[in-house]
Amino acid sequence: MHLASPSVGGEAFFRLPQKRYFMTTASSSFIDRRTVIDWLGIAPFMIFALMFLIVPTLYLVMGAFFTPDGQFTFKNIADLFTPTILSAYWISIKVSFASSLGGALIGFFLAWAIVLGGLPSWIRSGLLTFSGVASNFAGVPLAFAFIATLGRTGLVTVFLRDWFGFNLYSTGFNLLSFVGLTVTYMFFQIPLMVLILTPALDGLKKEWREASEILGASTWQYWRMVAFPILWPSLLGTSLLLFANAFGAIATAYALTGSSLNIVPILLYAQIRGDVLHNPNLGYALALGMIVITGLSNILYIWLRMRAERWQK
């Protein structure tokens, strides 16, 4: 926000001479026309946002509170708390939570390694470039990659069987399950964490480390009492972002498991395709539940990021 103030000052400076020279006679109508033109400038954008983002979403949100014949009701929301739907939300939350936690932990260690680990600088730039690619490598192809690796005839599965006589699938592991989906999602979660957390770790000042060492703090004490309190808003905030990211994802899960794993986006997909819940307005409520969960985690993320930025100036 601090960026906005100079441009506001510039605006006033820009307008002042015009007022003096042109507006002595018909000042009020000129202001009006100018204001109208100002607002017309972003009208295309606003119309676009209304038509293709806001109104469609509001339509679903409203629909969640009505019966098919247009009566106001809370029944759709109440119907979300039935075993099938509840279990879909529960699996979705579990997968999103596990993959964001795993992504956050491994991502943190990778970011730590390239920022503070004293590694050659080419590793840093290499990892950051790769993260940019891998965080965008999601969807259907990602599912294919993991089927080819950890599927029943995948590289790792075959390698373990032929070289170590170890049958991965006899341990109860299944790629088309909670664990499999979590491991797959981490492929785009970890890079996202690395990309967001690296600047935060860069913001840890050397002086803080030196000061704590001079005062006799151990490495553990430095991390626990100095670095971590500064980093936790970034860490937690990014984890929430990862959570929302995984919660809304469908393509990977759909290509990986078909419809065998009952997560919310897949249930909604089936509902849109063929009204499997036998109540279109319950489908709206399902969508509303998704918006609420991703919305809440994003709001918390934004709030935490504002807290985190205090230390990055």
Partner 1 sequence: MKMTKFFAWLAIAIGLIYFFVPLLGTFEFSLRMRRGEYSFDAYGSVFSDVQFQQTFGFSILMALFTIAFGMLLVVPTAYWVRLRLPQMRPVVEFVTLMPLVIPAIVIVFGYLRLYNSSSYIPFTGSTFGTNVLLVMSYITLSLPYMYRSVDTAMRTIDVRTLTEAAEILGAKWPTILFRCIFPNVMSGVLSGAFITFAIVMGEFTMAALLNRPAFGPYLQLVGANKAYEPSALAVIAFAMTWLSMGLIQLVSRLSKMAPTRRA
Instruction: Looking at residues 172 to 211 of the shown chain, list those that interact with partner 1 (rule: CB under 8 A).
Output: 186-187, 190
* Residue from 2, 20, 206, 273 binding partner 1 (CB under 8 A): 273
Residues from 34 through 53 that contact partner 1 (CB under 8 A): 38-39, 41-42, 44-45, 48-49, 51-53
CB of 170 to partner 1, least distance (A): 20
Side chain identity at residue 233, one-letter code: P
* Residue from 77, 93, 97, 149 binding partner 1 (CB under 8 A): 149
Question: Are 145 and 134 spatial neighbours (Cβ–Cβ below 8 Å)?
Answer: no
* Residue from 178, 209, 248, 259 binding partner 1 (CB under 8 A): 248
* Residue from 198, 247, 263, 308 binding partner 1 (CB under 8 A): 247
**Backbone phi, psi, residue 70, to 5°:** 90, 15
**Stretch in the footprint of partner 1 (CB under 8 A) among 75-83, 151-159, 160-168, 232-240:** 151-159
Residue 283 as a binder of partner 1 (CB under 8 A): the answer is yes
Residue 62 as a binder of partner 1 (CB under 8 A): the answer is no
- DSSP labels, 216-254: T--HHHHIIIIIHHHHHHHHHHHHHHHHHHHHH--HHHH
- Mapping DSSP to helix (H, G, I), strand (E, B) and coil, where does residue 123 land? helix
- The C-alpha torsion from 239 through 242 and 248 to 252, rounded to 10°, is -140
Q: Which of 91, 134, 89, 94 is nearest to 110 (CA)?
A: 134
Report the number of secondary-structure helices (H) and strands (E) in the chain: 16, 0
* Residue from 181, 204, 235, 268 binding partner 1 (CB under 8 A): 268
Q: In 81-145, which ranges are E strands?
A: none
Residue 113 as a binder of partner 1 (CB under 8 A): the answer is yes
**Stretch in the footprint of partner 1 (CB under 8 A) among 67-75, 162-170, 173-181, 267-275:** 267-275
Structure tokens at 93: 């939350």
Residue 63 as a binder of partner 1 (CB under 8 A): the answer is yes
* Residue from 85, 142, 193, 263 binding partner 1 (CB under 8 A): 142
CB of 111 to partner 1, least distance (A): 9
| Cα–Cα distance for residue pair 243/94, rounded to 1 Å | 10
Q: Give me the residues paired with residue 72 across strands.
A: 66
Residues from 1 through 20 that contact partner 1 (CB under 8 A): 1, 3-4, 7-8, 10-11, 14
Residues from 289 through 308 that contact partner 1 (CB under 8 A): 290-291, 294-295, 298
| Cα–Cα distance for residue pair 270/286, rounded to 1 Å | 12
Q: Which of 89, 109, 87 is nearest to 97 (CA)?
A: 89
* Residue from 79, 90, 132, 259 binding partner 1 (CB under 8 A): 132
Q: Rank residues 31 and 55 by Cβ distance to partner 1 and give the closer one.
A: 55
CB atoms within 10 A of CB 2: 6
* Residue from 93, 116, 217, 230 binding partner 1 (CB under 8 A): 116
Residue reference for tokens 């990977």: 252
CB of 82 to partner 1, least distance (A): 20
Residue 279 as a binder of partner 1 (CB under 8 A): the answer is no
